[in-house]
Structure 1
Amino acid sequence: MNIARLLGVLGSLGGLLFCIYFLFNNPYVGGPPPEDVLASFSLSYFLPMIIGLYASRSFKPILLLICAIWSFPLTLYLAATPGVFKWLVISPVLLMAAAIIMFRKRKHSHNEVSLNDEK
């Protein structure tokens, strides 16, 4: 379970730090980002990554999956751009991987419990 939590935390924190750094130090635009860009990034990327950080720490795979799906549209759009923002797609992929690992671990542990109950 530790690898799943680690993937979730790394995906969330890495995505947040990377996005904050490049939003405010954008090599393609001089000055701070416009308010509409901040609003759209907050709703479609920052919020899912913050919730994903909580979900990975508290072992909630469904919430991790929701956060990954929630942030995929923006990151897939940015993946098609030639700039540095294309690397933001790594975070939802890590969240998805963490959720899948957590689901498998949970299913495996439930199977072991039910097998032990039958004996």
Structure 2
Amino acid sequence: MRIAGIFIGVIAGLFSIGLWIILVFFNPYTVASPGKAAVNTFMMLVIPACLAIVASIMNKKYFLLIAFIWSLPISLYLALTPGIFALFIAPCIAYLICFLLMLFPKNNAAD
């Protein structure tokens, strides 16, 4: 279960960072410069993604919960938008799944 949690957490974090790069630098829906929106989305999407990557590697399950709660509001907002940015909800849900996988480890002891 720990390996699955590490894999899910790292992949979800990298996926979120990749989507953020597309959102800020290659967004077909805006013609304005990134500016303030880039800073806000960086703080709400990239920092929790980095926290989730580090937390999954170091097996810090409650940091994954923090990453989930931190990125949930903007992920829900972006889930209601058209196009590729609706996929921001997937890494957020993956943070929660990773937290649950680490919270309830498989018990290998025969009882």
TM (norm. structure 1) is 0.84
Aligned length: 109
Deviation at 1:44, TM superposition (A): 1.0
Cα distance, 1:30 vs. partner?
2.8
Runs of 4 or more above 6 Å deviation: none
Unaligned runs of at least 5 residues, structure 2:
none
Q: Which residue in the other structure is 1:66 paired with?
A: 66
The alignment status of 1:101 with 2:91, answered yes or no, reads: no
Bigger mean CA offset, 96-105 vs 19-28: 19-28
Structure 1 or 2, whichever has the larger Rg, is 1
What are the within-5 Å matches in structure 2 for residues 18-33 of structure 1?
A: 18-30=19-31, 32-33=33-34
Structure 1 CA distance, aligned partners of 2:83 and 2:18?
A: 17
1:9-88 equivalences under 5 Å are 9-30=10-31, 32-33=33-34, 35-88=35-88
| CA–CA distance in structure 1, aligned partners of residues 49 and 105 of structure 2 | 22
Give the percent of matched residue pairs that are identical in Structure 1 and Structure 2.
Answer: 27
Q: Which has the higher helix share?
A: 1
| DSSP 3-state at the match of 1:65 | helix
Q: What is the identity, as a one-letter code, of the residue corresponding to 2:76? A: L
In structure 1, C-alpha distance between the alignment counterparts of 2:22 and 2:78, rounded to whole Å: 16
2: CA distance, partners of 1:32 / 1:47: 21
Cα gap change, 1:45/1:85 in structure 2, threshold over 3 Å: closer, same or farther?
same
Q: Distance in 2 between matches of 1:52 and 1:32?
A: 28
